[in-house]
Amino acid sequence: MRFDDHRVVITAAGRDFGRTVAVRLADLGAEVFLSARTLAAAERVREEIRGRGHQRVHAFACDLTEPASIRAFAAGVARHTDRIDVLVNNGSRYLEGPDLPSASDTEIVDTLASGATGTVLTVKNFLPLLLNSNKPDVVTMVSACGTAGHHRSDAHDAFYAAKSAQAGFAEILSRRLRPRGVRVISLYPPDFDNPDPLSEEWETAPRGAEDALTAQSLVECVLFALAQPRDCFIKAFHFEQV
């Protein structure tokens, strides 16, 4: 499975799962345009990837709570390429705490803005580049918190609200963009283990039926969906929670 002819945008790729996706897709040949809230964080991941022998990687700053920052990110990518084949919406602030008053108003606004508004504006601003591709895909890391009736996470109510907004957006986006050839793929994982993709643990992490979901399996779901023929629209991945 190779992605040498793919140009991929990944938000919030400075750490955790976004970094994991960036490293794996670069390893498989994709040209990667990665962002993080600070340019330094994005550049750090860019240099890690370049250190693995992959030079087609670009770093940008993008604060998903700031519309101007999202526009600047899209404009910066457009100066490098006239098309994007895959947009990975990974950015969303996690907010912990099942007690609603435990979070400040600022934290709640930031959580909703990064997960909900940020996702909508990112797709809006990158859609022209996606529509220039003959294989456009939008991948969104939602969460089990975005599924109806889910209550097993200790995440804050605002995080649940942001993920529910992402899920609703992905649902209507899938229907409205399919006639234009854009596949909209959403993942709804519970809490999962995310070992460093550059560590030995990446290869040795337990992945049995009794173990928690791993980032390795999530990445493989993304790669599987992207590699399917264009008549195959895999709309969502849902996962059992241990």
Question: Above 80 in pLDDT, residue 242?
Answer: no
40 near 15, Cβ under 8 Å?
A: no
Give the contacts of 70 (CB within 8 A, at least 6 positions apart).
62, 63, 64, 118, 121, 122, 125
pLDDT of residue 163: 97
Structure tokens at 16: 């955790």
pLDDT of residue 3: 97
Share of the chain above pLDDT 90, in %: 94
Question: Residue 124 and residue 177: Cα distance in Å, rounded?
Answer: 12
Pairing of strands 86-89, 7-10: parallel
pLDDT of residue 1: 82
- What are the pLDDT digits (tens) for 120-147? 999 999 999 999 999 999 999 999 999 9
Q: What is the CA radius of gyration of the chain?
A: 17
Structure tokens at 59: 């770093």
- Crossing angle (nearest 10°) for helices 67-78 and 118-131: 20
Question: Residue 172 and residue 94: Cα distance in Å, rounded?
Answer: 24
Q: What is the pTM of this model?
A: 0.96
Q: Taking Cα atoms as reference points, which of 176, 167, 181 lies closest to residue 89?
A: 167
**Mean pLDDT to the nearest integer, 71-81:** 98
**Mean pLDDT to the nearest integer, 77-85:** 98
H helix intervals, the chain: 16-27, 39-50, 67-78, 105-112, 118-131, 157-177, 201-204, 215-227
Question: Above 90 in pLDDT, residue 181?
Answer: yes
64 near 110, Cβ under 8 Å?
A: no
Query: pLDDT-based confidence at 8, cuts 50/70/90?
Result: very high
Q: Taking Cα atoms as reference points, which of 216, 178, 36 lies closest to residue 57?
A: 36
Give the contacts of 205 (CB within 8 A, at least 6 positions apart).
193, 195, 214, 216
pLDDT of residue 118: 97
Average pLDDT of the chain, as a whole number: 96
Question: Above 80 in pLDDT, residue 37?
Answer: yes
Give the chain's largest Cα–Cα span: 48
Question: Above 90 in pLDDT, residue 241?
Answer: no
Residues in the chain: 242
The full set of domains in the chain, from first to last, is: 7-238 (3.40.50.720)
- What are the pLDDT digits (tens) for 88-111? 999 889 999 889 999 999 999 999
Phi then psi for 183, rounded to 5 degrees? Answer: -90, 135
pLDDT of residue 98: 84
Pairing of strands 86-89, 183-188: unpaired
- What are the pLDDT digits (tens) for 192-212? 999 999 999 999 999 999 999
pLDDT of residue 92: 87
